[in-house]
Amino acid sequence: MPHAAFNADFFWQDGAWRAGEAALGVTAGRFATTTRGERIGRFVLPGMPNLHSHAFQRAMAGLAERRGPGEDSFWTWRETMYAFAEAVDPDDLKAIATQLYVEMVKAGYTQVCEFHYLHHGPRGVPYADPATMSLALIEAAKEAGIGLTLLPVLYMTGGFDGRPLTERQQRFRHDVGGFVRLLERLAPLQDDMFTLGIALHSLRAVPEDAMRALLATGIAKDLPVHIHIAEQIGEVQDCLSVRGARPVEWLLDHADVDARWTLVHATHLTAHETDRLAKSGAVAGLCPTTEANLGDGLFPLAPFIDAGGTFGVGSDSHISVSPVEELRWLEYGQRLVTRHRNVAARVPEESVGTALWQRALDGGTRAAGADIGRLLEGARADLLVLDDASPLLAARDEADVIDSFLFAGNTPLVRDVMVGGQWRVRDFAHAGEEAIARAYRGVVEKLAAA
């Protein structure tokens, strides 16, 4: 018998709304079938996975929006970010990440893929336990009640030419041996709410032989693999001149890129790369608000979907923490450059909102490597209840509720959130939010004063 059972007018299942005659049960944190249950609302959606996060960057959101001496770019932003990263210690990271993860859950994200490269202490001196920063993130996710896919990042060089890391990049550094030891330390901690994966920071940061060596190790064999790729034109040009191929092309030719892989950004693609990436089964990890904020460019969404590609969304630098905003701006970017409407819907009568939500669920779930993203028996019990009482949903039925949710809302419509069978947000509030915000404020004030 399930421990709890819920009913709603509509459950989002297999890419469509199902009238909730059958209730959803929850046993040991997973969905089970049952016949009757307590009514929790009108529209119940699976929670959205956030497939790309650098948690510490949340605390500097908004602090890199002032023009510098020359023309600003991704690379000048990166200097600001590096200066900020220097000061963050394990307790700071825990407080920042906990606040961020609470905000994520309230916004409708129920899993986060943390692309974690801030491993060591100042000047790259390892902590007594080299997993200290990783453990801070694991604790933060537990306290906020969000599922975590932790992706420790291998970071070795400062450019395609193999140049050594700068002073400020020392905290990111590993060799393959040390990196594998970190994975071995973290792997036994996995449970329903914590999945381990790996990341290569970028082709800039990982030489070819190190990539091969890591991917050949036993521990790395079945884990999700994430990599930043082709985000900036400068990176594409450097890759072409040193490796003789564009980044995505090079990776597809030199690694067994398949559904285990997530290529984060993949912004600058030729038509041929777009097609090959789509057919590889890898997830394109799109982060539209960060990509806009950093001046990256636009991903070729329509050709990628048409070639059968899979994508999900991430909040990356956390300039915004909202699946609604990521999906909305994913679509709006396409409209602005193509001068067409309803781009993500590829067949007549398809709703853009439902196409975006379902595709991002599928891609985010694949990227996270966890059994999530479905309101179906056996999956982890993660769900969102939309606010029936919102005027925005007046006279909206199941055909258009997700479009109104994604495109018309400025106040969030996510009223209640369950993760792993536990209510984390009820009536827009998270149980721990006040104490967590207080700790966060203390840390950010300390960092600002330093």
Q: x/- binding map, residues 243-282, to ligand NGQ, per CB under 6 A?
A: ----------------------------------------
Pairing of strands 422-426, 414-419: antiparallel
Of these partners, Zn ion, ligand NGQ, none, which one is at the site of residue 231 (CB under 5 to 8 Å by kind)? ligand NGQ
388 forms bridges with which residues in the sheet?
Answer: none
Residue 265 annotated in active site: yes
Question: In the complex with Zn ion, which residue's Cβ is closer, 18 or 78?
Answer: 78
Of these partners, ligand NGQ, Zn ion, none, which one is at the site of residue 7 (CB under 5 to 8 Å by kind)? none
Q: How far is the CB of 78 from ligand NGQ (least distance, A)?
A: 5
Q: Tell me: does residue 58 bind ligand NGQ (CB under 6 A).
A: no
* Cα dist from 446 to 85, 87, 435, whole Å: 14, 10, 17
Of these partners, ligand NGQ, Zn ion, none, which one is at the site of residue 143 (CB under 5 to 8 Å by kind)? none
CA–CA gap between residue 212 and residue 43 (Å, rounded)? 46
CA–CA gap between residue 238 and residue 268 (Å, rounded)? 13
Q: How far apart are the first and last CA of the chain?
A: 55
Q: How far is the CB of 276 from ligand NGQ (least distance, A)?
A: 22
CA–CA gap between residue 396 and residue 392 (Å, rounded)? 8
Distant-in-sequence, close-in-space partners of 128: CB < 8 Å, separation ≥ 6: none
Instruction: Please report, as a single letter, which amino acid is at residue 334.
Output: Q
CA–CA gap between residue 255 and residue 252 (Å, rounded)? 6
Q: Tell me: does residue 326 bind ligand NGQ (CB under 6 A).
A: no
147 forms bridges with which residues in the sheet?
Answer: 111
How many Cα neighbours within 13 Å face the side chain of 31? 25
Q: Tell me: does residue 290 bind ligand NGQ (CB under 6 A).
A: yes
Q: Tell me: does residue 316 bind ligand NGQ (CB under 6 A).
A: yes
* Cα dist from 216 to 29, 219, 222, 297, 433, whole Å: 34, 9, 10, 34, 42
Q: Tell me: does residue 119 bind ligand NGQ (CB under 6 A).
A: no
CA–CA gap between residue 302 and residue 318 (Å, rounded)? 25
Q: x/- binding map, residues 361-380, to ligand NGQ, per CB under 6 A?
A: --------------------
Report the run of H or E that residue 226 belongs to, with start and end. Answer: strand 225-229
Q: Tell me: does residue 78 bind ligand NGQ (CB under 6 A).
A: yes
Q: Which one of 92, 114, 231, 387 is in contact with ligand NGQ (CB under 6 A)?
A: 231
Q: How far is the CB of 231 from Zn ion (least distance, A)?
A: 8
Q: How far is the CB of 53 from Zn ion (least distance, A)?
A: 8
Q: Which of 332, 416, 369 is nearest to 47 (CA)?
A: 416
Of 92, 275, 316, 416, which is the active-site residue? 316
With CB under 6 A, what is the number of residues at the site for ligand NGQ?
A: 9
* 58 neighbors 321 (Cβ within 8 angstroms): yes
Q: Tell me: does residue 169 bind ligand NGQ (CB under 6 A).
A: no
Residue 316 annotated in active site: yes
Q: How far is the CB of 170 from ligand NGQ (least distance, A)?
A: 14
Q: Tell me: does residue 293 bind ligand NGQ (CB under 6 A).
A: no
Site for Zn ion, rule CB under 5 A? 316
Q: Tell me: does residue 92 bind ligand NGQ (CB under 6 A).
A: no
**Catalytically annotated residues:** 265, 316
Interacting residues toward ligand NGQ by CB under 6 A: 54, 78, 202, 228, 231, 290, 294, 316-317
